[in-house]
Structures are given as structure tokens and as C-alpha cells.
Amino acid sequence: MKHIRNFCIIAHIDHGKSTLADRLLQATNTISEREMMDQVLDDMDLEREKGITIKSKAIQLNYKHTDNQEYILNLIDTPGHVDFSYEVSRALAACEGALLLVDATQGIQAQTISNLYLAIENDLEIIPVINKIDMDGAMIDEVKDQIIELIGCKDEDILLASGRTGLGIEGVLGAIVDRIPAPTGDAEAPLQALIFDSVFNSFRGIIVYYRILNGTIKKGDKVKFVSTDQEYEADEIGILKLKMTEKKEVKAGDVGYIITGIKNAKEVKVGDTITLVNNPTPEQIKGFEEVKPMVFAGIYPVNTDEFEELRDCMDKLQLNDASLTYELETSQALGFGFRCGFLGMLHMEIIQERLEREFNQTVITTVPNVSFVAHKTNGETVQVNNPTEFPDPVKTESIEEPFIRAQIITKPDYIGNIMTLCLGKRGMLINQSYLTTTRVELIFELPLTEIVFDFYDKLKSQTRGYASFDYHPIGMRQADIAKMDILLNGDKVDALSALIHRSRAQDFGRKLCEKLKELLPRQQFQIAIQAAIGAKVIARENISAMRKDVTAKCYGGDISRKRKLLEKQKEGKKRMRQIGNVEVPQEAFLAVLKLDD
């Protein structure tokens, strides 16, 4: 066991984690030249297209150190985007050390700090690496100073490398062996393994990835998942190379997989403990923190018959993405669906894409929102998760919305921009302090509703990416929240309803009506698009009628023949307006998410 090292790579988005992982795989000959490609660990199409890592990936490397000893290195490549920080926290729980990667041209950025704090909380050994040192704009000395200031290490502890050219890779591998402690654990103790990921395979059932803290698991063992109390037989166990490699046994300190033929997704929970039936562990491993969704939205199948199929797909997707939470919901306009909780807007977009690509599910997503608490006049308290549950305003005493305490770390140059942004979002500045001469920390109290939509994107663009944002809930506060309905020719479309602060309603309603006017197809009758709070209409747009050319088949002849056809059309139009039903395309539901303030 003393020859095993478990480590992960953490960094801000685009600092070169996956490229460095490629070089490590090449340097240790884990992967042949024929199989080599860029970002070899990003095996999802979406990851390659967007150039981001979405899923943490584990892989085992064999490395011969200068002391002629063979070492086993278990590497986990983690995502950099803030929406996937839950993936990072799970990867850290399975490691003893972390490579903290900093881009030589960018310096320390937002997610670098957040991920570093996560690693320190988990007591990991941190190896700072400056990447991209071959670039023209590399500021090696400045970045070194920033790192020393941040973690208080010595100058010689910082490694220099280039993921693109492979410079300094040997030094990184050597440092991993020398500095990261070997896993501690007892191979003879009762089995205690932490599940950190799982994936659904249509031929083998659910494949569970785990890290063994104590004990040994052998093929054919009877195992038990502690929190669900289910027992299974280990049909196949092994380690994770580029492909899964079968082994007879996996010992303490190692990372591996197990296939038990489980078909039901509910039986596997990330953070659960695996143990043996005949020699169970007395205590469950303390799992990771519970996931806290920020954004709630409804996901509905386009055809209501496909609901059961969508439920299956959501189960399978949740296996692979533990930060997704969902529960059943119904809507008048869209039928049966799910109320889902996401970590952010990018997370929501990725889930929707994955449902379409991996499971061929075309879905409609409703307007995202957060949970409110309504106090009725009869003393009853109601939790409001979506606009349809909003109680009648006449019977409502008060509404409370969730507030958060936000911590933003940035450069002093951007303080003005951030102030404008947060105060515009109904925020209050609580504190401002300088951590160093080039880093300032701002603490705000903000309503969660305001940061749901595009707060991250705005914050990033206002600060050129030099801002880290972290938050935690601080309870509910009273607010003037109203339910805004969208009416098409007088009919409510409940999927477009939104819960919004009254001061914002008119502006938001007007923008939404304008957007829908662009997106709804023209009909042969006029369509009125209205935004209303209760009975009061606060915005309106009209889509004028499209005239069908009924006289096209008339070649010449008397004018009265044409007039007769037009009169007939006029009659039909009257009837049409009375029963006119408006088809709402899927883009209209998505348009709401793209509204700019």
C-alpha cells in the first residue's frame, strides 16, 4: 500500500487540467500513441464540443520512480466550472493530495481559491504547479508570488510545467510520489469503501466506482451497501485504466469499480459505504456534504406518453450526476413532469443536452425559480416551489423569500462594477476588506431569486473572470413577491408564469412579451400577448393576423368573384378568433431563460 498515491488535479476553468492529465498518461505509457487524442479523459461529446470538463474521471497510472520502485498513481481529473464544484468535492474525498494548477498567463483566479479551500478542508497535501510556462505572456515570477501569498509555501515547492509541450512532467510525477502521503488503512480490517461515482451501462447494469479506505474486496464476495441495506454479489471487480481492467481483488488505498448487476438506480447513493456481509464495518464513512441546489425548474416530456421513459432516464442520469435532484410535478399546459434542482444555469443546460443526446429525450424546461414561503391569513404556512402553488393574494398575509450571504473575492479595479451589479439585484453590502493589496473581499446579502438567472455570467463579464463567488443560505426574509401570468388571447400559459418581486414585474413582463412576439408563429387571427398580475395587465404586445391568399385561384373575371371569396374568409376569421388556439413552440419556453436585464 505504501506504493499507492491518490491525487486529483484542481484549477480554475481553462487552466489546462485535462491537457496536463494527457501528458501524465503519455509519460507513464498508460495510453498508446494510437489511442492518444486531446483531452483523452473527457469522453462525453458535450465536453469536447464545449472544451470543458463536466464529469470527474478516475484513471490508474503505473510509474517507475528514480528509486527503481514501481508506484501506482490514481489520478482524478476534475471540472473547473463553479456549477460542477460538487464533482470536485467528491473527487477530493477520495484523494490524499491535489495538484493545484495555475495558468502562468492568468495567475490565480476565482475557482482556484474556492477549490483550494475545498482541498484544505479535506486535509490534502497540495502541490502547486504553474502551467503554460511556454506561452508568450507567461508571468512566472508574479504568479509564484501570488501562490506563495495564497498558500504560504516556499519558492522551491512550486513546480513549473507545460501541459502542451510536456515540459516539467517528470518533475510533477516525482513530486506526486515524494510529497503526497500514501493512503493509510488496514487491508486486514473489515471492508470499508466509499462510493464516489457510478454510471449506468445498459448491458452490465450499474457500475459503481469506489475508494477502499480499509479492508479488501475479492471477486464473488457478498457485499452490502450500508445506507440502503441491500446485499449483492460482486460479479466483477477491478481497477480503472483507460478501459476497466478486471482484477481478482482490490485492496485498501486503491480506487476501483464493482459490477453487481444492480438495475435499479435508487439502490446506489453517492457517498454511501460498501462493506462485506459476513464481516461488516462498525461505522459508516462520513459522506460528502449534501448538495444544495440553487435553481429549480420543471422538466416535461414533449409528448405526455413519454413520461415513464423520462422518469427512467432521470434515474440513470442522477446516478452519473449526483448533484441533480428531482421530484414529481404536474402542469395544466404540459402534463406530468419533474421539478428539478440544479447547481446553476450551465448545469441545467448540460442536463437538458445530456437527456437529448444520451437518452433521446426531447424535453421542455420551464422558467427557473427558487422556493418561497407564504403565510396565509388563516395562520397556515405554505411552501411555494412553483408558480402554480402560489396562494390567492387576497388570502395571503405575507411572502418570504430565501436570502444568501455572498462572498466575492476580486481585484480592487472591479469593486465599482460589482457594487453596481449587486445593488441592482437588491443586495446589501455588509463588509469590504482587503486580503492582500491585489485582492479584495466583498460580503453581500442578496435574495436568492436575483442570482438564479444570470448573476454568475454578469459577475464574470463585469470582472473579466477575476471574481470568485461563494454563498450560503441565511434564512428567509419578507418580500413583496407577486405571481406574473402570461396570457395568450386571454388564456393563461402556466408554464410561463413566474414569481417575481413586484418592483421588477413590469420591466420583466414587457421584455417577455416582446420576446414572445418574436418567437410565436403568426396565425390567421390576431394574437394578444399579455403579462398580468392578478387581473391587472402590466404589458401587452399584439401579433397581427396573417392573411391567407384566398384569391390565388381566381384568374381574372369580375371583381365580385374576388370579393365573394374575401367576404367568406372574413366570416371564417370571426369564428377562428373565438376558438383560436395558439401553439407555443419550445423556443418560447427557453426564451425566458435568455432574457437580459
Binding site, annotated residues for GTP: 14-19, 131-134
Residues contacting residue 571 through CB under 8 Å, at least 6 positions apart: none
Q: Give the residue among 444, 428, 450, 445 at the shortest CA–CA distance from 500.
A: 450
Kindly state the DSSP code that residue 534 receives in the 8-state scheme.
T
Kindly state the DSSP code that residue 309 receives in the 8-state scheme.
H
Which runs of E-coded beta strand occur in 290-333?
295-301, 325-331
Q: Measured between alpha carbons, how far is 390 from 128 in angstroms, rounded to an integer?
A: 51
Distance, first Cα to last Cα, the chain: 56
Helix %, strand %, coil % of the chain (to 5): 30, 35, 35
Q: Give the residue among 81, 18, 51, 88 at the shortest CA–CA distance from 457.
A: 81
Q: Measured between alpha carbons, how far is 232 from 205 in angstroms, rounded to an integer?
A: 13
Q: Give the residue among 473, 478, 479, 467 at the shortest CA–CA distance from 405.
A: 473
273: left (phi over 0), alpha (psi -120 to 50) or beta: beta
Kindly state the DSSP code that residue 369 receives in the 8-state scheme.
B
Residue pair 295/344 in contact by the 8 Å Cβ criterion: yes
Q: Measured between alpha carbons, how far is 407 from 431 in angstroms, rounded to an integer?
A: 9
Residues contacting residue 20 through CB under 8 Å, at least 6 positions apart: 9, 99, 101, 129, 131, 161, 163, 169, 172
Binding-site positions read 14-19, 131-134
Cell numbers representing residue 552 in the block: 390565388
342: left (phi over 0), alpha (psi -120 to 50) or beta: beta
Q: Measured between alpha carbons, how far is 471 from 302 in angstroms, rounded to an integer?
A: 35
Identify the bridge partners of residue 467 per DSSP, sorted by sequence position. Answer: 410
Residue pair 423/442 in contact by the 8 Å Cβ criterion: no
Q: Measured between alpha carbons, how far is 144 from 159 in angstroms, rounded to an integer?
A: 10
Cell numbers representing residue 568 in the block: 367568406
* Residue 335 dihedral angles phi and psi, to the nearest 5°: 80, -145
Q: Measured between alpha carbons, how far is 75 from 58 in angstroms, rounded to an integer?
A: 6
Using DSSP bridges, classify how beta strands 205-214 and 192-201 pair: parallel, antiparallel or unpaired.
Answer: antiparallel
Using DSSP bridges, classify how beta strands 4-11 and 97-103 pair: parallel, antiparallel or unpaired.
Answer: parallel
Q: Measured between alpha carbons, how far is 358 from 483 in angstroms, rounded to an integer?
A: 36
